[in-house]
A and B are shown apart, each in its own frame.
Chain A
Amino acid sequence: MLDVIASPLISKSDFDAACDELSRLFAERHNLQSEWLSVDVHDRNDTRFLRIMKPLCTRVDVALGDSQEQSDERELMEYDEEALEPSPSHQGVVVEYDIVFSPSFQVPVLYFNIKDLLFRFPPTMDTLYRHLIPLQFRSQAEKAGVIGGITLTDHPLTNAPVFFVHPCQTVSILGASRGKEELTPIEFLMLWISAMGGCVGLHLPIALAEK
């Protein structure tokens, strides 16, 4: 992995290499972290993409609201706790993050949705803001143009509706956060995950980021 990426953009082949590398790193160190369940490289229709799975963590207030079926209660609770926590009722529910290289934008794009055997979390904006976006990012995410917004679209490979972080601003966001040094493909991918994933609950586990 000696190749160095000179611009904030990444080539398709460097992206593929970075996916392999992150998946390998996860296989090696998954015991050292508990945030992610799996990191796998998938091939579909001759396109490689990276799938990261993690348990669904729901804001404590929302989880309580769910069990009590009372929205008033939920609003009262709202300023108590804004963190996302695993909820017992959502055991086995998984958030699937797919990182796919976009032929249009020539950057990786983040698609995500909730996998639940009981189909309790359909891809709707309500699901997005109740279960996936941390409260502190809500106003930022709702304002299209800041990070391009988060909305629904068809997954480029499964063609089923999923959420996605609009990639229009990827270059400027990464340009601002990457500093001056040149990056290897895996460093670029890690930086990309930190920059694009945080607002939708995808954080790089420290165990993976350490050299």
Chain B
Amino acid sequence: MSSSRDLSSRLRQNVWDGTIPLEIRLHSGDCRTYDDSDPYLIQFPRLSYLGLLPPRLHTFFSNSLIYPDVSPAEAWLSYEHVPLKWHYPLGLLYDLYSGTEPAYPAADGDDAEKKADGRNVGDDVNIPWRLTVHFSEYPVEHLVKLDVDGKHLHDLFINSVKEADFVRNGHGRPVMNLSKEDSTQLWESVKQHSFPLYNPINQKLLNPPGVSLRHLPVKLYLPHATSDSNDKGQAPGSLRVVQQPINPALSSRQPQTIGTALNQIIPSLFPSRRSPLLAQAVLHGAVLPLGTSVEELVRTTAYLDGWLHIAVVMMA
């Protein structure tokens, strides 16, 4: 029993420590020397939000900006013309858009063969991830506009935390009952990416006394298929976000697995509960084995807002 707890906490720690190196360049349209500015380099936590970066980016690039007086709230980031949502954690954005092949479980048999197509594991890793920061032409139709004080980002985060709480318990009491200090500490832990600050609050939310787990907070992110693209107003990189109530268990003896949940929610992409045939579920850069218990994942590898944000990636 204790070894499984050790494993959980090691996994939690690994997920917490996951980072992606970013190389952020100023968009030529905002740069007084066209494309001659130095890039901003940062090793950024996968769990954290790019929405925390604008003040730093503004300071870093202020000497290169055509309009140095522009507010940091005008900043937005893109990757290959896709505006990046502020309130999606970096890891989700990277898994969705970077094109990097996810990591496969070091499994035997079938799984190993898929990788044996002549390519090395590191071949298509997109590192550092090269992003562009803009300070004009904010895509208001696609991105929530942030403010200088970070209130919008905080609001988006807290709403997401509340929603996860509601899904888990059928009501939002645990998060509503957090003290003012605890709520402040939760947001501080996000801003500072501090596990010692985050973990005690998270444990309160995950284990409210006298409440049994109702549903599991899982969101699936599907890239729009090309057949959908005649849909008007389709932005580059637009997604379909799918969410349904997921029970923790199918029966008293059978826990809900990634395979059973995906088969229930999007059977067209996951016709089998046991083996991925058309698409794969990617979390924190890794392909999720379909036999994994969803509840265990929620408890150990959820994002900071309590959700499992899973990228659904089509198989080649």
Binding site for B on A (CB under 8 A): 45, 103-106, 119, 122-125, 149, 151-154, 156, 158-161, 166, 168
Residue B162 lies at the interface, judged by CB distance under 8 Å to chain A: yes
B214 to chain A, nearest CB (A): 10
> With A151-B159, A152-B152 given, is the CB distance from A160 to B233 under 8 Å?
yes
Q: Which chain B residues numbered 201 to 250 have a C-beta less than 8 Å away from chain A?
A: 217, 233, 235, 238-245
* Chain B residues numbered 130-163 whose CB sits less than 8 Å from any CB in chain A: 140-145, 147, 152, 155-156, 159, 162-163
Interface residues as binary, B79-122 with A (CB distance below 8 Å gives 1, 0 otherwise): 00000010100000000000000000000000000000000000
With a cutoff of 8 Å between Cβ atoms, the chain A residues found around residue B141 in the complex are 119, 122, 160-161
- How many A-B residue pairs lie within 8 Å, measured between CB atoms? 65
B residues 20-51 with Cβ under 8 Å of A? none
Q: Is B258 an interface residue (CB 8 A)?
A: no
- CB-based contact A159/B238 at 8 Å: yes
Q: A151-B152, A153-B156 are in contact. Are A124 and B145 (CB under 8 A)?
A: yes
CB within 8 Å for A159 and B241 given contacts A105-B166, A151-B159: yes
Q: Which A residues are in CB contact (< 8 Å) with B245? A: 103-104, 106
**Cβ of A168 and Cβ of B239 under 8 Å apart?**
no
Task: Assess the A159–B240 pair: CB atoms within 8 A.
Answer: yes
A153 to B88, CA, bound (A): 12
- CA distance in complex: A54, B236 (Å): 29
Judge whether B166 and A122 touch: CB under 8 Å: no
Q: Which residues of A contact B271 (CB under 8 A)?
A: none
On chain B, which size bracket covers the interface?
Answer: 20 to 34
Instruction: Knowing A122-B145, A123-B144, A168-B176 are in contact, say whether A156-B241 is a contact too (CB < 8 A).
Output: yes
A154 to B143, CA, bound (A): 8
Say yes or no: A168-B162 contact (C-beta < 8 A), given A152-B152, A154-B85: yes
Chain A hits for B176, CB < 8 A: 168
CB contacts (< 8 Å) of B174 on chain A: these are: none
Return chain A residues, CB-CB under 8 Å to B152: 151-152
Residues of A within 8 A of B240 (CB): 45, 159
From A45, which residue of chain B is reached at the shortest CB distance?
Answer: B240
CB distance from B111 to the nearest CB of A (A): 31
With A and B bound together, what is the CA distance between A158 and B240 in angstroms?
Answer: 8
Complex interface: chain B residues within 8 A of A168 (CB) = 162, 166, 172, 176
B167 beta carbon closer than 8 Å to chain A? yes
Complex contacts, B238 vs chain A, CB 8 Å: 159
A117 to B184, CA, bound (A): 41
A151 touches B85 (CB 8 A): no
Q: List 14 A-B contacts (CB under 8 A).
A: A104-B245, A119-B141, A124-B145, A125-B147, A151-B152, A151-B159, A152-B145, A152-B152, A154-B87, A156-B243, A159-B241, A160-B141, A161-B142, A168-B176
Q: Do B140 and A104 touch (CB < 8 A)?
A: no
Q: Known contacts A103-B244, A105-B163, A159-B239: does B140 contact A152 (CB below 8 Å)?
A: no
State the CA gap A161–B145 with chains docked (Å): 9
Which of A104, A151, A160, A166 has the most C-beta atoms of chain B within 10 angstroms of its own C-beta?
A104
